[in-house]
Amino acid sequence: MADLTTNFAGIRSPNPFWLASAPPTNSAYQINKAFEYGWGGAVWKTIGDPVLNVSNRYGQFQYAGNRLIAINNVELISDRPIEVNLKEIREIKKLWPDRAVIVSAMVSSNEQAWKTVVQQIEDTGADGIELNYGCPHGMSERGMGAAVGQVPEYCEMITGWVTSAASIPVIVKLTPNVTNIVPPAHAALNAGANGISLINTINSIAGVDVDNFEIFPNVGGKGSHGGYAGPAVRPIALHMLSAIASDPKYQDQPVPISGMGGVETWRDAAEFLLLGATSIQVCTAVMHYGFRIIHELCDGLSNWLDEKGATSIEQVIGGSVPRISAYGDFDLSFRTVATIDEDKCIQCNLCYVACDEGAHQCIDLTADGVRIDPAVYEGSATLQPVVREDDCVGCDLCSLVCPVENCITMVERPAKFPSVTWNELVRTRPDVTTDWDAMVAYRKEVGIEIH
């Protein structure tokens, strides 16, 4: 069984799974229970200036009968007095010395306020501090949270105040509500952050009630943007993680990353690890199913590591980072085509309509082996989709819509022209990249046909 123990900038935990700073980490009662279930660590719900909360606080995004594909919240930071939180943090750390106890903090943007809260947190014996630069609602209007995270200069300044005062590791939690996640990450690195965590929640409105025009979540007839989290945000989180993990400055000056955003299963966690995360934070899945999911998170991750022949988590962290590339460096001659296994095909014809109307018109419908036009076909044969392989551009849409396991597969075929990247073309044949006549001539020259 693989070793799941995690060392994040000196913060140790028996497994990489930490509860994210959120409603599940609101109290000692919850965190104690979570640790009994086996969670490796917890980031205490953000402590800071006084707040009042509202109801309703949460809205959900449902899709095709599945609940909580994502959750939207307008809940603020901890509404419990800071002294109560500090007392409970101290008790929890004493009870659970082997678990990672990290405290999220967010105070007014002045140096003294931050230094005070750093001291208060260190006095509890907590293992680390997470700076909440991400909260997109309620706090940002008061110049905190995302209002800091969206401005790299503020981010760097405040992080500097904290790192100069703190003796325990400082983790900067980044907001995804920016066009480019890298500059705020640079700001954190410049200011000496010991770790980065991402993503916080994304600005969103959960939905609109089409009967009474109210907005979800509905607060006394009014609605507002809230923070969006859960499985639906995972691809966005993975992208932002990859943007930092592949950034040259980050690679020169790497710090551990705590990845989060829609992690619900061991497989999700494995994806974050492969893109460079050292620890994994979880919130929405716990809000949906409870702390008990930790069993399967650890079990599944451990079985996967064993299957891969890895004896520890470190061996897989960043395993996919070398593959992070960009369009300009893709091999333009790499070629795949769709193949349909007619024995498995159930003739739903979703691939046909997707290809014919949504993509590149290279799947035909056939009746008894003869291509037909469904608009005029009057026979009663069961229509069988067939790929015209020479025309297939290898877009993969058909296999994505196919409901049958292993029925449509994308198969690699020999390239039809010599390997070349766009960046190489820009360098060697700049006319081809700027002039359509040159492009057409180039295609003819190397044998690229687009039907």
Partner 1 sequence: MPHQEVTLAQLQDSFSETYPRYTKNEATVEANRCLYCFDAPCITACPTSIDVPTFIRQIANDNLLGAATTILESNLIGHSCGRVCPVDELCVGACVLGAEHRPIAIGRLQRYATDHVFDTGAQVFEPAPPTGKRVAVVGAGPAGLSAAGELAKRGVHATVFERNELPGGLSTYGIVVLREPTNVSLEEVEFIKGLGVDVRTNVEVGVDVTHQELIDGYDAVIIAAGTGPVPPLGVPGEELEGVIEALPFIAATKIADKDGREGLLSIPVGNEVIVVGAGNTAVDAATVAKRLGAERVTMLYRRSRAEMTAYDFEVDFVRGEGVDIRLLTQPIEVLGENGKVTGVRCVRMRLGLPDESGRRRPEPVPGSEFVLPADQVIKAIGQEKLSALFEGFGVESISGYVKVNEELRTSNPKVFAAGDCVRLTGQALTVTAAEDGKIVARAVARQLGVAEPAPQPGATRGRFLHATVNDIRRIHG
State the catalytic residues: 135
Query: Restricting to residues 93-112, which ones interact with partner 1 according to CB under 8 A?
Result: none
Calpha distance 173→259 (Å, rounded): 10
Peptide bond into 56 cis (omega under 30): yes
Give the range of 117-125, 184-192, 211-219, 399-407 binding partner 1 by CB under 8 A: 399-407
Secondary structure (3-state) at 131? strand
Residues in the interface with partner 1 (CB under 8 A) total: 32
Name the maximum alpha-carbon separation found in the chain: 81
Binding mask 38-77 for partner 1 (x = CB under 8 A): x-x-------------------------------------
Task: Kindly state whether residue 371 participates in binding partner 1, applying the rule CB under 8 A.
Answer: no
Which residue lies nearer to partner 1 by CB, 326 or 346?
346
For 165, counting Cβ atoms within 10 Å of its Cβ (0-12 exposed, 13-18 middle, 19+ buried), the class is middle
Cα-based distances in Å from 219 to 54, 80, 214, 224, 226: 7, 21, 9, 9, 12
341 binds partner 1 (CB under 8 A): no
135 binds partner 1 per the rule CB under 8 A: no
Alpha carbon distance 16, 8 (integer Å):
9
| 181 token code pair | 């996640």
Task: Yes or no: say if 23 and 45 are a contact pair by the CB < 8 Å rule.
Answer: yes
| CA atoms of 285 and 293, how far apart (whole Å) | 8
CB of 168 to partner 1, least distance (A): 23
To partner 1, the closest distance from the beta carbon of 115 in angstroms equals 36
Q: State which residue, 34 or 76, has the beta carbon closest to partner 1.
A: 34
* Coil, strand or helix at 187: helix
DSSP 348: -
Q: Does 377 bind partner 1 (CB under 8 A)?
A: no
Q: Compare residues 40 and 176 and give the one whose CB is closer to partner 1.
A: 40
Contact 269, 237 (CB under 8 A): no
Out of 4, 86, 199, 355, name the contact with partner 1 by CB under 8 A: 4
DSSP 374: T
Helical (H) or strand (E) element with 240: helix 234-245
Q: How far apart are CA 182 and CA 243, in angstroms?
A: 7
Closest distance to partner 1 from the beta carbon of 298 (Å): 5
Segment near partner 1 (CB under 8 A), from 87-95, 135-143, 398-406, 419-427? Answer: 398-406
CB of 257 to partner 1, least distance (A): 22
Of 9, 14, 41, 387, the one binding partner 1 by CB under 8 A: 14
Chain positions 252 to 311 lying near partner 1, rule: CB under 8 A, are: 265-267, 289-290, 292-296, 298-300, 302-304, 306-307, 309, 311
Q: Is 183 in the site for partner 1 (CB under 8 A)?
A: no
Closest listed residue to residue 104, CA positions, set 129, 83, 78: 129
Pick 187 or 407: Cβ nearer partner 1: 407
Tell me which residues touch partner 1 (CB under 8 A): 1-2, 4, 14-15, 36-38, 40, 265-267, 289-290, 292-296, 298-300, 302-304, 306-307, 309, 311, 403-405
